Amino acid sequence: MKTSASLVAMSNYRSRVRPPERLRFRAANDAPRSDGEWVKCRDGRSLRLRPIHPDDVVALQRGFSHLSAEEIRMRFLHALTELPDALATRLCQIDPDREIALVLVDGPEVPEPEIHGVARAYIDPTTDSAEFAVIVQKALNGQGFGRLLMQRVIAACRARGVREIWGDVLVENGRMLTLCDSLGFRREPVFHGTGLTRVRLAI
């Protein structure tokens, strides 16, 4: 068993090698935030790709109401018929130390803006890894938005000092698995019987 002295020595050693996780992630997080970028849809519309805001609750719920049961199952890995206020509020009020959430949202000219896509990462500072999840409404599929959201969330993780990003994807979700393959993720079919494949990318 390690003595308390050796544990203190270990913690001193760790702090000389690199800053404590909390400071490292906080420092990156305190950097000025980009307000995002405009992206063009095939039909000519422009959408904003930006970090989620606390006041995006209604736009998130609007977007959710246009998802099919299948899309929801692929994203959340279980059925969810509505996005209640409390959950929507929580999803919009991220913990900036631990979470990244990027959205594809209508521009200010749209009277009732809607969120059309979301990519998230939940950072575990003890392992320097982050779990991701992404969704793009079916109407916008095949226009490169899934790829773009993934690229942006990976870049945001990298900027925070995250070393690995991972996610669990249903084995029948060929589109997502193909996307992950092309982004360099490797598949780990470790969850026998769960119907999930874990994908991992060192970043």
Ligand X SMILES: CC(C)(COP(=O)(O)OP(=O)(O)OC[C@H]1O[C@@H](n2cnc3c(N)ncnc32)[C@H](O)[C@@H]1OP(=O)(O)O)[C@@H](O)C(=O)NCCC(=O)NCCS
C-beta separation of 61 from 88 below 8 A: yes
Check binding of 182 to ligand X (CB under 6 A).
yes
C-beta separation of 49 from 36 below 8 A: yes
The H-or-E segment that residue 154 falls in is: helix 145-159
Check binding of 184 to ligand X (CB under 6 A).
no
Q: How far is the CB of 4 from ligand X (least distance, A)?
A: 42
- Residue 73, classed as helix, strand or coil, is helix
Check binding of 127 to ligand X (CB under 6 A).
no
Q: How far apart are CA 185 and CA 166, in angstroms?
A: 8
Site for ligand X in 63-92 (CB under 6 A): 71, 74-75
- For ligand X, the nearest residue by Cβ is 146
Q: How far is the CB of 3 from ligand X (least distance, A)?
A: 44
Q: How far is the CB of 125 from ligand X (least distance, A)?
A: 22
- Residue 186, classed as helix, strand or coil, is strand
Check binding of 20 to ligand X (CB under 6 A).
no
Site for ligand X in 143-172 (CB under 6 A): 143-147, 167, 169
Q: How far apart are CA 34 and CA 51, in angstroms?
A: 8
Which residues of this chain interact with ligand X, rule CB under 6 A? 71, 74-75, 133-136, 140-147, 167, 169, 173-176, 178-179, 182
